[in-house]
Amino acid sequence: MHRISRYVHQDDIFIGTLTVREQLIYSAELQMGHSVSKVDKLNRVEEVLKELGLKRCETTLIGVTNRLKGISCGESKRLAFACEILTDPLILFCDEPTSGLDSFMAVQVVHCLKDMAKKGKTIITTIHQPSSQVFNMFDNVCFMSMGKVTYFGPIIEVCNFFKKFSIGFACPETYNPADHIIKTLSVTQGEQECQARVDKIRTEFEKSTFGAKLYRKSHGQGLSQEMVGNKDLKTRKMYAVSFLSQFRILVRRSFLTTMRDPLLLKVKFIQVIVTALVIGMVNFQTQITGSTIINLEGLLYNTVRDMNFIFLYPSVNVITSELPIFLREHCCSRIYSAPAYYLAKSVAE
């Protein structure tokens, strides 16, 4: 499933010192294999920028909360979609794509999903408290209560379903259907009436044509023989690019982000200057004699050692601060290996 699908997380986590275009370019280089030329990768980035309406902010820094001004929440959400559709997956899973957005931006984000669905992609998303406008953009909807399906079918039939079979939970005309249904399916702990209501709705759904259709699909054949026998799916490597390519790309990205972080650069310069002053004052005007040779050798050893630690300690802090990004890109998206990331960070720092 991972080979034909991508997952868009609820929280948008990026390296804030990169621009929108740079984020997509590095993602394309890590996700698209050597069989795709550099020109084709750049062309794909350009296509995605236009498709998701990110051309206007392509040279804008993504930004860091309370530190660096960047793109808006809506643009950040669209950038999350852009990073995942670079490889043109068949299925796109989205975890609450409208979370934290106002009603206008939520409509814009769902519009993007709708456009992708029209181009042949299967979009599966969870969503809470959608507006009536957002709710009506979906083709099919699945309502669940207590971990069990209470309705799954076309969105245009959901209101009719609650009117049929004498269920008695019809949606009032002036209500948002999503709000009404969620309220109807909510179960308050200890209230038997709520549980009985949900059980009744679930039973009626199982007896309906939608429930029968869902049962046949869920108990039928899974993947088609054509897909199971697809050679591409069976022989694809764990990572799209080789270890050396991962290392090279990550070194470039790490070096760029380090150079654009003014606070980190200031700390590095201050550390070097202070260390040099302390060592210089302690050994100022030391004469080179037979009795001081050992001291000078120790000085050189300590200087080399201290210089290494000066650059290694900040890299540990940087890796810790970028841990959420690493976990997402390595563990979830699987676009590079842990050794490649650590070595690249150590070299860049």
* Span 161-171, average pLDDT: 68
* Lowest mean pLDDT, pick from 133-142, 175-184, 262-271, 319-328: 262-271
Domain positions in the chain are 1-88+99-113, 139-235, 243-348
How far is residue 229 from each of residues 226, 333, 341, measured CA to CA in Å?
Answer: 5, 24, 34
* Span 302-324, average pLDDT: 74
* Span 64-77, average pLDDT: 85
Domain 1-88+99-113: give its CATH code.
3.40.50.300
99 φψ region: left (φ > 0), alpha (ψ -120 to 50), beta (else): beta
How far is residue 195 from each of residues 158, 191, 210, 228, 257, measured CA to CA in Å?
Answer: 20, 7, 22, 41, 53
pLDDT score, position 4? 81
Most confident of the following: 34-38, 202-206, 294-298 = 34-38
Work out the percent of the chain whose per-residue pLDDT is above 70.
89
On the question of pLDDT at 247 being above 90, the answer is: yes
* Residue 246 or residue 212, greater confidence: 246
pLDDT tens for each residue of 88-104: 888 999 998 888 788 88
For residues 337 and 246, the answer to whether their CB atoms sit within 8 Å is yes
* Lowest mean pLDDT, pick from 1-5, 249-253, 324-328: 1-5
* Residue 70 or residue 298, greater confidence: 70
On the question of pLDDT at 342 being above 50, the answer is: yes
On the question of pLDDT at 266 being above 70, the answer is: yes
For residues 58 and 25, the answer to whether their CB atoms sit within 8 Å is no
For residues 59 and 24, the answer to whether their CB atoms sit within 8 Å is no
DSSP string, 20-57: HHHHHHHHHHHHS-TTS-HHHHHHHHHHHHHHTT-GGG
11 φψ region: left (φ > 0), alpha (ψ -120 to 50), beta (else): beta
pLDDT score, position 321? 79
Residue type, 36: V
pLDDT score, position 306? 73
* Span 277-285, average pLDDT: 78
Phi and psi of 321, rounded to 5°? -70, -30
